[in-house]
Amino acid sequence: MSGAIRHLLSMADLDRDDIDRLLNLTESFAEVSERQIPKVPALRGKTIAWLFYEDSTRTRLSFETAAKRLSADTMNFSVGSSSVNKGESLRDTVETIAAMGVDGIVVRHRGAGAPHRITNWTDACVVNAGDGWHQHPTQSLLDIYTATRHLGSLEGRRVAIVGDIKHSRVARSNAIGFARMGADVTFVAPRTLLPASLEGWPVKVTHDLDEVIEDLDICYLLRMQRERQDDAVVPTLREFHEEYGLTTARADRLSPGSLIMHPGPMNRGVEISGEVADRPNAVITEQVTNGIAVRMAVLYLLLGSGLDLVEERTQVA
Ligand code: NCD
């Protein structure tokens, strides 16, 4: 993309320079987050509306915290208690919110492409916080940020994304994101948990985690999306754990310095053994922490007044 970024809908919209720019901004906001008063006036006077049609704990809290630290006003549109239950269409809902004067809309929706459609109905900047199986770009950015903090450049790094690829927007976002950063990405899953076609995807595929485990720099586990599966895609969760889970024995075969990642929420004992999730090279809670600074960077870039961060730092000092 490069140049002015209006919306963040998909990792496919970001080129390497855009990602680097966001990572640099994230670094500055991580520093803000460590201050005694972790707040800057960067988005004072701007209003952001939350439009979450799907359950979310960490993503929503993370966005809300990011907005607060940037001094933005927020408008909480609670889908459960809104006229959506009275049959209001997505378009009417968005136009109603837009009519109240919002600068940004952060949306999570079960329909792939919903955030893109919203951009046609409002002048506000739209951030995709997860759309169906399609994309979850801020998750990918926080994963890239967390990985680079530990590994430096991701050029040539070997990343396995393991488990329920088929139903995962995180897998689709990270395949693009990590590949853009020069990493070598492999999807590891049984046939039943892979999309029908992977043509054009910047990934390799294997059905055998044991074949690749020792070579990995990052072992990225996905949650089994049981709520999105209509048929039995694995024989039993126990068998899935034995074949595709990061068991204690497999985690012992990871090379020193490699990272274990997971977007959360975790199913301990399914895609990852409970003990492995707490090992020092598992950076899962760090991913959550970094999510705030990354979302500050995204909101700032899309909605920001253009003030230089350094200038703002002196304003708040
Ligand atoms: C992910 C999501 O919602 O796509 N979680 C998240 O954003 N924290 C992954 C998941 O639900 O498994």
To test the pocket of ligand 1, the residue of 61, 170, 294 to mutate (highest count of ligand atoms within 8 Å of its CB) is 170
4-13, 77-86, 107-116, 177-186: the lowest-pLDDT one = 77-86
Task: Decide whether any atom of ligand 1 lies within 6 Å of the 59 Cβ.
Answer: yes
Cβ atoms of residues 144 and 291 within 8 Å: no
CB atoms within 10 A of CB 110: 13
pLDDT band (50, 70, 90) for residue 203: very high
Per-residue model confidence as pLDDT tens digits over 247-305: 999 999 999 999 999 999 999 999 999 999 999 999 999 999 999 999 999 999 999 85
Task: Decide whether any atom of ligand 1 lies within 6 Å of the 135 Cβ.
Answer: no
Region 42-53 average pLDDT: 95
Query: Measured between alpha carbons, how far is 63 from 76 in angstroms, rounded to an integer?
Result: 12
Please list the helix, strand and coil fractions of the chain in percent, rounded to the nearest 5, in that order: 45, 15, 40
Task: Decide whether any atom of ligand 1 lies within 6 Å of the 104 Cβ.
Answer: no
- Residue 229: predicted pLDDT: 65
pTM of the model: 0.94
Helix (H) or strand (E) holding 59: helix 58-69
pLDDT at 310 over 70: no
Share of the chain above pLDDT 90, in %: 84
Query: Can you say whether residue 293 is alpha, beta or left, with left for phi > 0 and alpha for psi between -120 and 50 degrees?
Result: alpha
pLDDT at 227 over 90: no
Q: How far is the CA of 264 from the centre of ligand 1 (A)?
A: 6
CB < 8 Å & 24+ apart, contacts of 89-94: 90/114, 90/117, 90/118, 91/117, 91/121, 93/51, 94/51, 94/118, 94/121, 94/122
Region 221-237 average pLDDT: 80
DSSP state of 268: B
* CA distances for 46 relative to 15, 215, 231, 301, angstroms: 27, 47, 45, 13
- Residue 49: predicted pLDDT: 97
- Sheet containing strand 73-77, edge to edge, reads 73-77, 47-52, 104-109, 125-131
Cβ atoms of residues 22 and 148 within 8 Å: no
Which atom of ligand 1 is nearest the CA belonging to 130? 4
Angle between helices 58-69 and 137-151 (to 10 degrees): 80
CB contact set of 215 (below 8 Å; sequence gap of 6+): 158, 255
For the chain, list the domains and their CATH numbers. Answer: 11-135+290-316 (3.40.50.1370), 137-287 (3.40.50.1370)
Phi/psi at 125 (5° precision): -75, 140
Question: How would you class 216 by CB atoms within 10 Å of its CB: exposed for 0-12, middle for 13-18, buried for 19 or more?
Answer: buried
Query: Measured between alpha carbons, how far is 196 from 224 in angstroms, rounded to an integer?
Result: 18
- Residue 231: predicted pLDDT: 65
Question: How would you class 137 by CB atoms within 10 Å of its CB: exposed for 0-12, middle for 13-18, buried for 19 or more?
Answer: buried
Q: Which of 18, 13, 24, 20 is nearest to 2 (CA)?
A: 18
Check residues 178 and 304 and name the one with the higher pLDDT. Answer: 178
- Residue 316: predicted pLDDT: 47
To test the pocket of ligand 1, the residue of 61, 223, 225, 288 to mutate (highest count of ligand atoms within 8 Å of its CB) is 223
Task: Decide whether any atom of ligand 1 lies within 6 Å of the 174 Cβ.
Answer: no
- Residue 3: predicted pLDDT: 59
Query: Measured between alpha carbons, how far is 62 from 227 in angstroms, rounded to an integer?
Result: 23
Q: How far is the CA of 263 from the centre of ligand 1 (A)?
A: 6
Which atom of ligand 1 is nearest the CA belonging to 264? 8
Catalytic residue among 7, 46, 47, 59: 59
CA angle (80 as vertex; 77, 83 as ends), nearest 5: 70
| Annotation marks residue 204 as catalytic | no
- Residue 228: predicted pLDDT: 65
Region 170-193 average pLDDT: 97
The mean of the pLDDT values for the chain is: 92
Task: Decide whether any atom of ligand 1 lies within 6 Å of the 170 Cβ.
Answer: yes
Cβ atoms of residues 71 and 41 within 8 Å: yes
Q: Which of 56, 140, 55, 66 is nearest to 104 (CA)?
A: 66
